[in-house]
């Protein structure tokens, strides 16, 4: 999870956010601890370190802007007033989570699905160009790494025979939606050639993930390199799942990668 799946999305996030190279190791460490540590105290402390870091960086970028997202956010004006620093920091935090955590979890969970299905791994290796686009979408559907969305009903409505009143809170569980037999044929099958694949792993409508194309590119880049270099995947220990209702996936996923001639 840290050695392979996290590396590319984390580095890309640091580039977009304009994180100085000297600060990246510490921020990477805090980011992984905030979401992967099995200690609630360590997770909380790491998250506070991240927020404190972005507060300091945003303050500095407001005084001396650079060519990065933190500078853009720190100098946004609404009704003639700069966006409060606390809101800049929370936006930076959300960008960090969205651009690293979900990609890492989807990528790793998809590779785990291929590990459990050796014949599919060989099939993808034989037809990488044809299957890569559908494989990436199936990884996103299968893992549904962002678990739920909460919304407030704006008007009275009946949905699936259930009355929902205006003002009521509604929770949509993405893993359930992405395994809906009405929407998907054989939803419990990991199908590398599934098409169409109208999953909502990255949201929908006005709240559709802003980084959807970047997420797809990052997953495709790493998986394509694994396909090129790795002949066989083997479990190398017992994986551990995260205990969270916010994100869905693995805390650890030890895999042995064996080189082999391309079939």
Hey, where are the domains in the chain? 7-259
Q: With beta carbons less than 8 A apart as the criterion, state whether 136 and 57 touch.
A: no
pLDDT at 245 over 90: no
Can you name the CATH fold of 7-259?
A: Cytochrome p450 (1.10.630)
Model confidence over 146-163: pLDDT tens digits?
899 899 999 999 988 999
Model confidence over 75-112: pLDDT tens digits?
999 999 999 999 999 988 888 877 788 899 999 999 99
What gap in Å lies between CA 2 and CA 4, rounded to an integer?
6
Which pLDDT value is given to residue 261? Answer: 58
What gap in Å lies between CA 58 and CA 247, rounded to an integer?
27
Query: pTM surpassing 0.85?
Result: yes
Q: What is the mean pLDDT of residues 19-25?
A: 92
Closest C-alpha to 212, from 57, 78, 106, 112: 106
Strand spans (E) along the chain: 77-78, 81-82, 148-152, 157-159, 162-164, 169-173, 230-235, 240-241, 250-252, 255-259
- Asked which of 54-68, 85-99, 114-128, 224-238 is least confident by mean pLDDT, the reply is 85-99
Q: With beta carbons less than 8 A apart as the criterion, state whether 235 and 115 touch.
A: yes
End-to-end CA distance of the chain: 27
Closest C-alpha to 259, from 224, 236, 235, 232: 232
Taking the alpha carbons of 203, 205, 207, 210 in that order, is the dihedral positive or negative?
Answer: positive
Burial of 40 (0-12, 13-18, 19+ CB in 10 A): exposed
- Per-residue DSSP letter, 99: I
What gap in Å lies between CA 43 and CA 29, rounded to an integer?
11
């Amino acid at each position: 999870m840290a050695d392979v799946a996290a590396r590319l999305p984390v580095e890309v996030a640091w580039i977009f956010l304009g994180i100085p190279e000297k600060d990246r190791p510490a921020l990477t460490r805090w980011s992984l601890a905030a979401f992967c540590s099995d200690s609630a105290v360590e997770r909380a402390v790491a998250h506070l370190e991240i927020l404190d870091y972005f507060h300091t960086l945003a303050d500095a970028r407001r005084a001396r802007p650079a060519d990065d997202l933190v500078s853009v956010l720190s100098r946004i004006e609404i009704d003639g007033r700069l966006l409060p620093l606390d809101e800049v920091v929370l936006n930076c935090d959300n960008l960090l989570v969205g651009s690293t955590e979900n990609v890492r979890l989807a990528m790793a969970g998809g590779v785990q699905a291929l590990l459990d299905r050796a014949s599919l791994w060989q099939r993808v290796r034989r037809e990488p160009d044809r299957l890569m686009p559908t494989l990436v979408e199936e990884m996103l559907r299968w893992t549904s790494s962002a678990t739920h969305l909460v919304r407030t009903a704006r008007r009275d409505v009946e949905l699936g025979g259930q009355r929902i009143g205006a003002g009521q809170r509604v929770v949509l569980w993405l893993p359930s939606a992405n395994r809906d037999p009405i929407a998907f044929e054989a939803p419990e099958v990991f199908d590398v050639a599934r098409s169409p694949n109208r999953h909502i792993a990255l949201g929908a409508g006005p709240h559709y993930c802003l980084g959807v194309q970047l997420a797809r590119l990052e997953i495709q880049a790493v998986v394509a390199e694994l396909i090129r270099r790795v002949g066989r995947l083997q479990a190398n220990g017992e994986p551990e799942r995260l205990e969270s209702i916010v994100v869905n996936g693995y805390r650890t996923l030890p895999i042995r990668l064996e080189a082999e001639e391309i079939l």
